[in-house]
Structure 1
């Protein structure tokens, strides 16, 4: 069955909260979140962001992302990106990222799309460059357990 997308609804939030399987996955998706992810945490994040979008397959929500930065004719930055555990490795993240790029162009006239990936998120570090994202900065962050981590900022520029 093909993948489709639509704006997130309040009824979707509890389902999305089940996607992060452990504190590390939540940290990759939502560094400010506390595990386990709650409806209140995710709803508050959605309220501050733009274009919160779900991906569906066979009527089930299999992916989610939004923009935490959304400038008109400037930069849109993708955040809260996550794929359901059951749908990983099946092209959902690729479809989700291409959908977010399309929304950035159509709704915001974006010239650039950015995202960030922690150094321990191997799946993201392999996928993002394959989709045309190029690293442009690295920032030191503390993992939830206090270890040093690198947050790698990537971007895709048009025009």
Structure 2
């Protein structure tokens, strides 16, 4: 598969809103949002963040991410999600590597961080495969008040 990426556009919003296939996936993607994800909720995040990026495959938007913190010390990747139809095909890897490259090239950052809930096994495995290492665990609660662990991961930028 040959992927490309570009800044998010208004006509991508409805597609991105369709990516979370469950309440749990929405929580992993955007913990502050409520099910179902609406364009209005997504636009709040987009307007508060930078480098809102989509991955495109054969003309279809198949992935999305952005930075919720950015600067020379660190860039923090957030709102990471891949279309259910494109999972397991390398989109997530391409998306995260693209965001790491943007952090290094555009923000001249020393490291990239991201956070992943303990129940998101696919995300944790992907992030560790591409060089992210855990450095902290934060106690959180899901929307039902159940305890969850938010695992913070980092990767040094080495000019990649």
Q: After TM superposition, is the score higher than 0.5? A: yes
Q: TM-score, normalised by structure 1?
A: 0.97
**2:146 equivalent in structure 1:** 147
Give the structure 2 partner of residue 2 of structure 1.
2
Query: Is the contact between residue 100 and residue 157 of structure 2 (CA under 8 Å) also seen in structure 1?
Result: no
Corresponding pairs, count: 158
C-alpha distance in 2 between matches for 1:56 and 1:142: 33
Q: Any unmatched runs of 5+ in structure 1?
A: none
The SS at the match of 1:78 is strand
- Return the TM-score normalized by structure 2: 0.97
Provide the aligned C-alpha RMSD in A: 0.8
Structure 1: 4+ residue segments shifted above 3 A? none
State the shift of 1:158 in Å.
2.9
Structure 2: 5+ residue runs without aligned partners?
Answer: none
Give the whole-Å Cα distance in 2 for the aligned partners of 1:80 and 1:157: 20
2:122 counterpart SS class: helix
In structure 2, distance between residues paired with 1:82 and 1:158: 22
User: What CA distance in whole angstroms lies between the structure 1 residues aligned with 2:123 and 2:81?
Assistant: 10
In structure 1, the partner of 2:41 is: 41
